Amino acid sequence: MSVDSNKERVFIFDTTLRDGEQSPGATMTLEEKLQVAESLDEMGVDIIEAGFPIASNGDFEAVVAVAKQVKNATVAGLARAISADIDRAGEAVRHAQKGRIHTFVSTSPIHLAHQMKKTEDEVIEIIARTVTQARNLIDDVEWSAMDATRTPMEFLKRCVETAIKAGATTINLPDTVGYAVPEEHFAMFKEIIETVPGADKAIFSVHCHDDLGMAVANSLAGVAGGARQVECTINGLGERAGNAALEEVVMALRTRGDAMPYYTEIDSTQLSRASRIVSAASNFPVQYNKAIVGKNAFAHESGIHQDGMLKNAETYEIMTPASVGIKETTLVMGKHSGRAAFKDKLKELGYELGDNAFQEAFQRFKDLADRKKHVYDADIVALVDDEVGSVGDRIRLVDMEVVSKTGGTHRCDLTVTIDGEKNSVSLEGTGSVDAIFNAIKAVSGQNPHLVLYAVDGVTGGTDAQASAHVRLEMNGRIASGNAAEPDTLVASARAYLNALNRVMIERGASAQGALAG
């Protein structure tokens, strides 16, 4: 973007792969993490927090793989204030062209008393020791004061001063529990930056959770108070109510540059694509009215709005759909469209698939075009996301027949492959969907708890594809699955299988439990 010399740069630190992925049910596979990292790197994110290396071998390998793949961004790995965590994070990010260790410790009285059982002096000693350890491994060290917004100012200042003296180059003051209000947040940053000795040697960072719906407002207030790094996630994914949404922070700074004299280096035309990639990888649908990237974010339904839009788009539009990467075209591929046209369409929608994935997607597109007259962009997006989201699934649907009788029985005959081997079962339920889910449980030998089941139309019309979402819980893990199909029952079965495959992926939870946000 063009840079106005009167504006100051704000660095974007994306934590979709760490704080975002920590959200229950948002677990991503390695391939999905790499795809997300690639899109973040391409759009100009400055720092990508790729994971929490000590949490499990899978997390460690993911941070290493992201570090090796990323071309432009700094790659950060998270570490508690524990020697083994810091070594492990250092080991993972040393593969990056630019690596960062991000270490944190709680500073609020409530965390000190109940979680850490430490005194203030002990915490100061821990900060000095662990930041020094990290600096001995790498030049770029970020230190975070967990629950900073509930920490008394004088103690917070001591902590920040200690971290900077020990060599921290970025100081992050998170609103871990989403408790702050903008005025307070502004004042906290301003006072710390203006009064802590050595504050000019570090970049200050804002990291807000959305428990009270103020994460973006608080982030922008932090910037006004002097922070020059914003920590955020695509689609606002994250623990509980989520983190500040990257797309909202970026577009707010871009659209209201008159009120906020700051800029980022993000290519905003890639926001819509990144949102789709993260939604598919995490299996978290984007709420329809979500700012910037929701399906309805640029839709004008009411007559008076439509009339104004036709006369001059600026009457009701403060930014253009194109500025966030939404293409005007919505139509139309059909059964006569060939490989080349399909490839062009995928490119236009922001997808580049490998040969195998392309073949699979093309075959599914052909099948869909045989059954459905018009194939819209939204259909293709659903189909490809579905394909990408089920790569690596161990249990796959082969065939299904459901017989349902009003007031009578509901039976599902199901055949799946498990690790390539065919298995069949026939089961009843209180309704068609219950019969399908019972059959899947029986054939897989798993008995997860169903947390959520929802079905939605990808486009309008009775021939629209159904998009099914399933969230399952098993052995303390939660995972989500999505699938789109013209047949609602098949979509439901595939979404259930997708979630089941994910909830069965082993994941070390040892260190994960220690994170609050």
Q: Which amino acid is at 346?
A: L
Contact flag: residue 298 with ligand KIV (CB under 6 A): no
The CB-of-181 to ligand KIV minimum distance in angstroms stands at 17
Give, in order, the Cα–Cα distances in Å from 184 to each of 148, 188, 200, 206.
12, 6, 21, 13
- Which residue has its beta carbon closest to ligand KIV? 517
- CB-side neighbour CA atoms (13 Å) of 342: 25
Instruction: Check the annotation: does 209 bind a ligand.
Output: yes
Q: Exactly one of 12, 17, 19, 234 binds ligand KIV (CB under 6 A); which one?
A: 19
The CB-of-176 to Zn ion minimum distance in angstroms stands at 6
3-state helix, strand, coil in the chain (%, to 5): 45, 20, 35
The CB-of-218 to ligand KIV minimum distance in angstroms stands at 12
Neighbours of 451 (CB within 10 A): 15
Q: Pick from Zn ion, ligand KIV, none: which does 437 bind, CB < 5 to 8 A by kind?
A: none
Instruction: Check the annotation: does 469 bind a ligand.
Output: no
Beta pairing class for 410-418 and 421-429: antiparallel
Are 271 and 247 in contact, with CB atoms under 8 Å apart? yes
* Distance of alpha carbon 101 from alpha carbon 191, whole angstroms: 26
Would you give the binding string for ligand KIV spanning residues 205-244, x where CB under 6 A is met? --x-x-----------------------------------
Of 19 and 385, nearer to Zn ion (C-beta) is 19
Please report the DSSP string for 7-31 in residue order.
SEE-EEEE-IIIIITTSTB----HH
39 exposure class (CB count in 10 Å sphere: 0-12, 13-18, 19+): buried
Instruction: Check the annotation: does 19 bind a ligand.
Output: yes
Are 69 and 34 in contact, with CB atoms under 8 Å apart? yes
What CA dihedral angle connects 320, 380, 498 and 16, to 10 degrees?
-30
The CB-of-148 to ligand KIV minimum distance in angstroms stands at 8
- Helix H, strand E, coil C: the string for 406-472 is CCCCEEEEEEEEECCEEEEEEEEECCHHHHHHHHHHHHHCCCCEEEEEEEEECCCCCCCCEEEEEEE
Contact flag: residue 51 with Zn ion (CB under 5 A): no
What CA dihedral angle connects 263, 266, 268 and 269, to 10 degrees?
140
Part of the chain binding Zn ion (CB under 5 A), chosen from 11-19, 327-335, 377-385, 440-448: 11-19
Of 144 and 482, nearer to ligand KIV (C-beta) is 144
Of 27 and 390, nearer to ligand KIV (C-beta) is 27
* Distance of alpha carbon 422 from alpha carbon 420, whole angstroms: 7
Total number of residues that touch ligand KIV (CB under 6 A): 11
Contact flag: residue 517 with Zn ion (CB under 5 A): yes
Contact flag: residue 176 with ligand KIV (CB under 6 A): yes
* Distance of alpha carbon 171 from alpha carbon 160, whole angstroms: 7
In the region spanning residues 89 to 118, those forming contacts with ligand KIV, defined by CB under 6 A, are: 104
Would you give the binding string for Zn ion spanning residues 458-497, x where CB under 5 A is met? ----------------------------------------
Would you give the binding string for ligand KIV spanning residues 136-155, x where CB under 6 A is met? --------x-x---------
Contact flag: residue 174 with ligand KIV (CB under 6 A): yes
Contact flag: residue 19 with Zn ion (CB under 5 A): yes
Of 85 and 379, nearer to ligand KIV (C-beta) is 85
Beta pairing class for 74-80 and 99-106: parallel
Part of the chain binding ligand KIV (CB under 6 A), chosen from 172-180, 406-414, 437-445, 469-477: 172-180
The CB-of-357 to Zn ion minimum distance in angstroms stands at 33
Contact flag: residue 41 with ligand KIV (CB under 6 A): no
Which H/E stretch holds residue 276? helix 271-282
Residues that bind Zn ion (CB under 5 A): 19, 517
Residues that bind ligand KIV (CB under 6 A): 19, 104, 144, 146, 172, 174, 176, 207, 209, 515, 517
